[in-house]
A = this chain, B = another copy of it.
């Protein structure tokens, strides 16, 4: 005992916390459970984080950074609309598989009822992606790739709506079960991707 925390253990604090917060919600999450999951004593968490709220904030930031990084992979080659969409759907699925706990936490924070916090969060999370979507769609509409009667804002919103629900469906027990109910089976990632794209492209008038 009294062994110095490894780098790994310090990181484990955050990941354990993300899992705990994501599963229990802020109120039910216990510092002691987080510590136990991280294999450390509860007290040491306070060496790294001011208090429970600060730890939660750090978890949030960690997840948002991840989302930023995921999205940034698409930005670069914003060439072909169809490709971008396919990439986005694929990334949503991959990310959901890689870090379902991040999406559960993300789901948690959307529950905030503090209007000010809601605004800050919304800007932080969607600020970049919404612009990417909207601009891409505007361009696509101009070049005739998608229907001209589409409002870019709405369609960006709906597109993100669908991606979000895909993530939830892969990350949350309830949504996964719900998906199974609708489909009658657990879909493979490829199948899911194909169907989502077919749906979206149809909505955008891109289907042939």
Contact = CB atoms under 8 A, between A and B. Distances in A.
A107 interface: yes
Contacts of A177: 115, 118-119, 121-123
A102 interface: no
B154 A199 contact: yes
Interface residues of A, number: 71
A154 B176 contact: no
A2 B175 CA distance: 45
Contacts of A198: 149-150
Contact of A28 (B22, B27, B125): B27
B130 A181 contact: yes
Contacts of A28: 25-27
Contacts of A204: 202
A41 interface: no
A10 interface: no
Interface string A159-183: 0111011101100111111111111
Q: Chain A interface secondary structure, helix, strand, loop or mixed?
A: helix
B181 A123 contact: yes
Contacts of A179: 157
For this chain, the copies found in one complex come to 4
Interface in A19-38: 22-29
A135 interface: no
A114 B173 contact: yes
A33 to B, nearest CB: 12
A83 interface: no
Contacts of A126: 178, 181-182
A140 to B, nearest CB: 14
Contacts of A202: 147, 202-205
A160 B207 CA distance: 21
A122 B168 CA distance: 13
A183 B205 contact: no
Nearest to A104: B111
Nearest to A149: B198
